[in-house]
């Protein structure tokens, strides 16, 4: 029998704010990409060094204060590893050496720059019990019979509530108390229909459940809402939660996924240290998988598309596409056309989209126009790098970003020098933002940006970007 007051605190790894999570995500992923596969000791050494540089402007992790060292450790192990599933450990059965491998989800993120889809995948894979917690809490979850995919359940609950005759809109407190903190639900014993009926009954009788306050009682609930928001599945205000109806395909996938098999493990094996280690390793490998069906789902985005002749651009708020590269190139083409046209209309035909021509090392050929009074018709070579995320990048002192350049693109950066530009396009929830990095080769020579020969990975901070185009359109 469902008892809403049968409360159980089922915790989740504490992440960062939504903005910080997205600001740091590419850094985490590229640390993993640059170091893995490798032995655990080497991974930690290199990861701590790179995070120390990003967070505290020094690679000397050993000389950081104890507090700052703990912060670096938390970013690498708890957030990048346990919460985000960007990598997983593997113990060699013959030697006992622990290695670290890059997850399939991490590889998807690096290849696609699609943050919401990455978080959708995370939410689909997540379940209670899991191997992301400390061993004490893993044992408690098994002992209490916890067995649920909480994100999938919440999506199904919201879908049912909003399709009832009374069109229920649930509050965060209701979902927290009646679902995410309720042991009966967490055991997988209660249908979404039963939960909705009970909430409706309690509302009618003037009974409210708003007892979840403070860090201990509320933080783990808040973390789960944050992840669903980053996945672009839900939208919230200070009180209520509802589904993002632009994500119909993804919502259906979440509901279907609730019936998919769980990651199962024999709890008796947790009695030994070897068994616990094996469980954690197997869970983390499972958690880092990528659901290929997600790559086939169209994602809503703010799109800019240019006509073939380049004379006009069309904005479509609800056009669907998964090709971020084409979206970004179309937007930058329009911006360059507008900039050059404002300087001298007859020169707009010098702005050319060349992204489909292989081997050039850039996507758009333009001219300097208003930005070089002495040589307005000097060529400008533009490489466009696009990403999709929910929050707007902050561009503050702590902000950083990483993007991959091909060998051809880096050669072009060297060849064209001050005339070579990387335009970074951020498709966010409410606006599209474009910033420019001019002459990245010179910046790398001046050690103002880091460039590593993976493909070529370029790490930038706020001091090197030009914000002329920071608000491309609202």
Lowest mean pLDDT among 6-10, 96-100, 102-106, 455-459: 455-459
For residue 386, report the phi and psi dihedrals to the nearest 5 degrees.
Answer: -115, 150
β-partners of residue 236 are: 241
For residue 364, report the phi and psi dihedrals to the nearest 5 degrees.
Answer: -135, 135
Q: What is the pLDDT of residue 134?
A: 84
Q: What is the mean pLDDT of residues 343-370?
A: 95
The answer to whether domain 17-113 and domain 114-270+291-299 are alike in fold is: yes
CB-CB contact of 325 with 345 (8 Å): no
234 CB-near residues (< 8 Å, 6+ apart): 154, 155, 158, 225, 228, 241, 242, 243, 244
- State CA 288 to chain mean position distance: 13
Quote the CA–CA distance of 172 and 180 in Å, as a whole number.
10
Please state whether beta strands 420-427 and 379-388 pair in parallel, antiparallel, or not at all (unpaired).
parallel
Q: Is the model's pLDDT at 16 over the cut of 70?
A: yes
Quote the CA–CA distance of 222 and 179 in Å, as a whole number.
13
Q: Is the model's pLDDT at 317 over the cut of 90?
A: no
State the pTM of this model: 0.88
β-partners of residue 424 are: 385, 435
Q: Domain map of the chain by residue range?
A: 17-113, 114-270+291-299, 301-464
pLDDT digits (tens, 9 = 90+) for 136-181: 899 899 999 999 999 999 999 999 999 999 999 999 999 999 999 9
Binned at pLDDT 50, 70 and 90, residue 321 comes out as very low
- State CA 382 to chain mean position distance: 26
CATH assignment of 17-113, among 1.10.10, 2.60.40, 1.10.8, 2.50.20:
1.10.10
Secondary structure letter of residue 80 according to DSSP: I
Residue 418: name the closest of 463, 361, 372 by CA. 372
Long-range contacts of residues 199-207, Cβ cutoff 8 Å, at least 24 apart: 199/168, 199/170, 199/174, 200/166, 200/168, 202/4
CA distances from 148 to 151, 157, 180, 265, 423 (A): 9, 13, 10, 14, 43
CATH number for the region 114-270+291-299 comes to: 1.10.10.2090
Quote the CA–CA distance of 336 and 436 in Å, as a whole number.
12
Quote the CA–CA distance of 125 and 417 in Å, as a whole number.
45
- Residue 159 buriedness (CB in 10 A; 0-12 / 13-18 / 19+): middle
- Residue 315 buriedness (CB in 10 A; 0-12 / 13-18 / 19+): middle
CATH number for the region 301-464 comes to: 3.40.1350
pLDDT digits (tens, 9 = 90+) for 216-275: 889 999 999 999 999 999 999 999 999 999 999 999 999 999 989 999 887 777 888 888
CB-CB contact of 33 with 47 (8 Å): no
Handedness of CA 276, 91, 292, 13 (dihedral sign): positive
357 CB-near residues (< 8 Å, 6+ apart): none
CB atoms within 10 A of CB 377: 12
- State CA 23 to chain mean position distance: 9
β-partners of residue 31 are: none
């Amino acid at each position: 029998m469902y008892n809403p007051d049968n409360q159980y605190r089922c915790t989740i790894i504490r992440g960062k704010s939504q903005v910080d999570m997205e600001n740091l995500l590419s850094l985490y992923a590229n640390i993993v990409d640059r170091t893995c596969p490798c032995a655990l000791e080497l991974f930690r050494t290199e990861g701590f060094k790179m995070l120390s540089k990003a967070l505290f402007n020094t690679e000397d992790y050993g000389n950081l204060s104890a507090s700052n060292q703990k912060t670096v450790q938390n970013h690498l192990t708890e957030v990048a590893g346990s919460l985000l599933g960007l990598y997983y450990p593997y113990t060699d059965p013959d030697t006992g050496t622990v290695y670290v491998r890059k997850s399939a989800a991490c590889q998807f993120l690096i290849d696609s720059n699609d943050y919401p889809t990455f978080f959708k995948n995370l939410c689909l894979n997540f379940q209670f019990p899991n191997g992301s917690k400390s061993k004490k809490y893993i044992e408690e979850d098994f002992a209490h019979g916890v067995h649920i995919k909480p994100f999938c359940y919440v999506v199904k609950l919201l879908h049912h509530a909003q399709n009832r005759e009374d069109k229920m809109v649930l509050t965060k407190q209701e979902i927290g108390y009646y679902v995410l903190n309720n042991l009966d639900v967490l055991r997988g014993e209660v249908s979404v229909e039963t939960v909705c009926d009970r909430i409706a009954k309690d509302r009618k009788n003037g009974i409210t459940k708003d007892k979840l306050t403070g860090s201990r009682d509320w933080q783990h609930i808040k973390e789960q809402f944050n992840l669903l928001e980053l996945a672009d599945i839900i939208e919230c205000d200070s009180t209520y939660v509802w589904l993002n109806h632009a994500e119909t395909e993804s919502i259906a996938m979440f509901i279907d996924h609730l019936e998919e098999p769980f990651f199962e493990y024999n709890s008796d094996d947790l009695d030994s240290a070897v068994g616990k280690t094996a469980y954690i390793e197997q869970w983390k490998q499972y958690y880092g998988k990528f659901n290929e069906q997600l790559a086939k789902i169209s994602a809503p985005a703010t799109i800019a598309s240019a006509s073939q002749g380049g004379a006009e651009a069309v904005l479509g708020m609800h056009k669907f596409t998964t090709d971020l590269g084409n979206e970004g190139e179309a937007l930058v083409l329009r911006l360059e056309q507008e900039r050059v046209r404002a300087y001298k209309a007859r020169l707009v035909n010098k702005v050319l989209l060349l992204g489909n021509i292989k081997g050039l090392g850039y996507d758009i050929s333009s001219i300097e126009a208003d930005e070089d009074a002495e040589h307005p018709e000097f060529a400008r070579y533009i490489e466009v790098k696009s990403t999709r995320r929910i929050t707007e990048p902050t561009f503050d002192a702590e902000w950083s970003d990483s993007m991959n350049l091909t060998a051809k693109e880096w050669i072009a950066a060297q060849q064209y020098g001050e005339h070579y530009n990387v335009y970074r396009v951020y498709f966010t929830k409410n606006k599209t933002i474009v910033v420019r990095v001019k002459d990245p080769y010179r910046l790398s020579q001046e050690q103002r940006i880091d460039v590593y020969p993976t493909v070529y990975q370029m790490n930038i901070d706020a001091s090197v970007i030009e914000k002329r185009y920071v608000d491309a359109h609202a």
